[in-house]
Amino acid sequence: MKKYLIFLVLILSHFSIHAEGVKLSCIPNEPACVNCAEHQTLFPIEEFSTNSDSLDIEADQSELLEGKYLLNGNVEVNSKKLYLAADDVEVSTVNKSLLATGDVRFQDESYLITGDLLTATRDENDNLIATATNANYQDFGAGLGGANGYTESISKTATSVLLTNSTYSLCPVNENDWLIEADQIELNLAKNRGVADNALIKFYGVPIFYMPKYSWVLSGRGSGFLTPNYSSYLEPDAADYSSSLRVPFYFNLAPDRDLLVALTAMSSRGFIYEGKYRQLIAPKISPDHEDSLWSIEAKYLPEDKITNLKRWLVNFSQEMDISEKIHFSAQYSRVSDSEYFKEIARTNTDTKTLKSHINLSYTDEENNLSAALLTEDEQVINAGVPVYTRALEGSISKTLNADTKMPVQVSLVSTNFAHDTKSKTAGVRTHTDLGISRQLNIEYPIITPRASVAITNYSLKNNPNINRTILGSGLDIDFTINLPTSMFGYEASHRITPLISYNYRAKKVQGNIPIFDTEDKYADIITFADLTSGERYTGLDRITNANDITLSLESSYRSIDATEDDKDLLNMRIAQSFYTDDEVVSDTASTNYETRKSYSDIAASIDVALGKYVISSSAQFNPDTSKIVKKENSLTYTSNSRKFITLSVSDEGTKETDKLYGAYPLTDSIHLFGALDKTTSTGITNSETTGIAYESCCWAFRVAHFKTNNGGNGYNYSTGFELVLTGLGSTASPLKRKIEGNIPGYTAKLR
């Protein structure tokens, strides 16, 4: 069975079309190749004459005979639209025709032709018709990577090219690793279509596919088969590998819309039918929003051979700018059962829930006003557990006096929380926050006192309502200074920020309040940002009491030529908080407080970004034991998406995790890629990816092997590969998404 599937992959990968990764665009055509320095032209491109009224002619000898110019020896004819060179050229002044023989080189605005004989005439509409025999041709007007080949006869007009007993390839000239041989090929430039009669596709001289009539798109996207994807995998408790073959067909409906259908044959499960429609519905108005696109995807397995169940997936998404300030976003994702991704899709096995939402947002930056309406739902999948969702949430935020030294921030958010488990407490949480700050008229240091009041109401089902009001205040003393300096050979600005922050927040009993969306930021490693934020918890169900002082110091060196996206050359941070209360609000259900030390652990980090190298190190230091209790370290070297390596080591005290991923080029065309995610404290490999790829301007091949932890039930294995012929195939497939998901920084599009 496997041998037949592999054979089908090799066959169908050539009965394909060029879809540029099925990227939607309002510009239908894009360059055919972007990394083709090895491409050459049949002969050096000549500049056309600037004389629009006559021909520029050069020759060793010439004579005029009965209305004909006879040119001999190193003849060159140049006009504003064509160039012709040959040993001998005959120009008729009667019918405006040309006859060239011997070492002919012809060039118009899009094609190059070489051969032994060429004629050029004009039709009744004064359009040029060029015909050559035993000729080589090249479509250099399409850019590097334009079609080329050999033909017994070529006839070219402004809108079409007709080739007889010809070859056709998008490989570099004289390096045709693959080509099409056909009795006749018509390249319709107006319709952007090529049609071949009795087409035989050869790969390295070996015939691999024949069709009586074959059609493909000349440039841009077109309808047809995309590259099939083959993979092997191991079912739980199975001794032998199963196989999967996915054959997609792409419909290019318009530049701004398309349809993808696919049939997947899983030897252990059955046939899966798939369809995905996408459409650009409006241009994106705001640069802060997503593209205005909507898509719907569905997959259906009528009967699973193992479970005898119907298995399906539905995924709908829409992003749309209603106006410059109003954006609409919708997402609906559902599968037939919680094991769908593990057993059928064999991807996203670490995902715990599928999220669906409808969100309408309004943002007025000029008036510092924002508002939003949100409703969401989640489906538990894999090993996930039910969580609270926002059945409906409304929020509004406004900053008054934003351009003064005393801004006032007002916000209101009301959320109706729901839960699939009926015994769970649910209800509406309404939270109002009022904050005011004022920068004192002191040049140095910058002193900013602040005050706030937070009012929260819980309207709960089957439980008494709860009201909570917490007052807060604080003071920031900022000693920032900026100094010109140099670092690692770069001119830089050195910013030193010693900061003293005092935070006060009233102590309030909160153990009776349910926990809808609150998590402890100190649960893993305590970071510089955690300590300087002044709030221990995410969400609003717990607000920590405070009568604390936080001391922090940040020292950063930034290149004076750095852009907004560039990292600091060197950044060092350290912070510690000191508490006057040995109790802190707890996020444990039905518990008001938990004890703590009079000071926090010290959070420190250092980040270095030098050229292609980025080094990051974060640590949580316990002053009592004088030991680092938690740490995260990473080293990244990035030259390009085909040459990089990242090593990440995380020690959370009770759990150690190592991650390694990268890619390395063996040659200009061949590179290796891989990733390893392993919990070293237990010796369990969470996931492993290995692969090799060959890429050139002519064709590309990739094979990847995946190993994933099956939740304590052993490991899942799968192998996939792709073969792409430039111009006849596409790399849009689940394999691409799976590789990029496992190897951050790697671009899995075969070029």
Rg (CA), the chain: 34
Residue 342 binned pLDDT confidence (cut-offs 50, 70, 90): confident
**DSSP one-letter string for 172-219:** PTT--SEEEEEEEEEEETTTTEEEEEEEEEEETTEEEEEEEEEEEESS
pLDDT in the model for residue 144 = 60
Element (H, E) at 676: strand 670-679
* Burial letters 655-678, b for 16+ CB under 10 A, else e: eebebebbbeeeeeeebebbbbbb
Report the alpha-carbon angle 233-236-238, nearest 5: 75
pLDDT in the model for residue 3 = 41
pLDDT in the model for residue 9 = 38
Q: Cα–Cα distance between 70 and 95 in angstroms, integer?
A: 15
**Can you list the positions of beta strands (E) in 419-511?**
427-437, 446-460, 466-478, 481-487, 490-505
Q: Cα–Cα distance between 148 and 404 in angstroms, integer?
A: 67
Q: What is the 3-state secondary structure (H, E, C) of 318-344?
A: EEEECCCCEEEEEEEEEECCCCHHHHH
Confidence check: pLDDT of 1 > 60: no
**DSSP one-letter string for 389-414:** EEEEEEEEEEEESTTSSS-EEEEEEE
Q: Cα–Cα distance between 246 and 265 in angstroms, integer?
A: 6
* Burial letters 692-712, b for 16+ CB under 10 A, else e: bbbbbbbbbbbbbbbbbbeee
pLDDT in the model for residue 142 = 66
Percent of the chain predicted with pLDDT > 70: 90
Instruction: Over range 582-587, report the average pLDDT.
Output: 94
Residue 237's region, left for phi above 0, alpha for psi from -120 to 50, else beta, is: left
Q: Which residue has the tokens 């769908």?
A: 340
**DSSP one-letter string for 617-654:** EEEEEETTTTEEEEEEEEEEEEEETTEEEEEEEEE-SS
Q: For residue range 411-460, what is the model confidence (pLDDT) as tens digits?
A: 999 999 999 888 899 999 999 999 999 999 888 999 999 999 999 999 99
Which range is most confident: 143-152, 190-199, 534-543?
534-543
Is 11 in a helix, a strand, or coil?
helix
Indicate the length of the chain as a whole number.
751
Q: What's 568's DSSP letter?
A: P
Q: Cα–Cα distance between 244 and 230 in angstroms, integer?
A: 6
Q: Cα–Cα distance between 581 and 546 in angstroms, integer?
A: 8
* 714 burial level (CB within 10 Å; 0-12, 13-18, 19+): exposed
pLDDT in the model for residue 638 = 93
CA–CA distances in Å: residue 203 to residues 83, 728, 730: 34, 13, 17
Q: For residue range 58-104, what is the model confidence (pLDDT) as tens digits?
A: 888 888 887 788 889 999 888 888 888 999 988 887 777 889 999 99
Of the chain, the end-to-end C-alpha distance in Å amounts to: 30
140 vs 733, residue with greater confidence: 140
pLDDT in the model for residue 19 = 43
- Look at residues 84, 89, 56 and name the one whose alpha carbon lies nearest to residue 72: 89
pLDDT in the model for residue 248 = 86
Which tokens belong to 24? 């939607």
CA–CA distances in Å: residue 357 to residues 328, 335, 397, 466, 745: 11, 16, 21, 28, 29
CA–CA distances in Å: residue 321 to residues 107, 401, 660: 47, 29, 40
Q: Is the separation of the CB atoms in 510 and 476 below 8 Å?
A: no
Q: Cα–Cα distance between 230 and 380 in angstroms, integer?
A: 29
Percent of the chain predicted with pLDDT > 90: 52
CA–CA distances in Å: residue 242 to residues 79, 231, 238, 339: 64, 9, 9, 18
pLDDT in the model for residue 65 = 80
pLDDT in the model for residue 367 = 93
Residue 143 binned pLDDT confidence (cut-offs 50, 70, 90): low
Q: Which of 220-224, 338-342, 686-690 has the lowest mean pLDDT?
A: 220-224
Residue 711 binned pLDDT confidence (cut-offs 50, 70, 90): low
Chain CA centroid to CA 142, Å: 27
pTM comes to 0.76
Q: Which of 22-26, 172-176, 741-745 has the lowest mean pLDDT?
A: 22-26
pLDDT in the model for residue 178 = 87
pLDDT in the model for residue 411 = 97
pLDDT in the model for residue 129 = 85
Is 168 in a helix, a strand, or coil?
strand
Q: Is the separation of the CB atoms in 24 and 738 below 8 Å?
A: no
pLDDT in the model for residue 729 = 56
Report the alpha-carbon angle 656-662-663, nearest 5: 160
pLDDT in the model for residue 721 = 79
pLDDT in the model for residue 13 = 38
- Identify the bridge partners of residue 430 per DSSP, sorted by sequence position: 414, 457
pLDDT in the model for residue 347 = 80
- Look at residues 166, 48, 59 and name the one whose alpha carbon lies nearest to residue 107: 48
pLDDT in the model for residue 713 = 64
For 141, phi and psi rounded to 5 degrees?
Answer: -65, -20
Which tokens belong to 8? 């089908």
* 83 burial level (CB within 10 Å; 0-12, 13-18, 19+): buried
Q: For residue range 172-189, what is the model confidence (pLDDT) as tens digits?
A: 887 888 888 999 999 888
Confidence check: pLDDT of 554 > 80: yes
Confidence check: pLDDT of 35 > 50: no
Chain CA centroid to CA 97, Å: 53
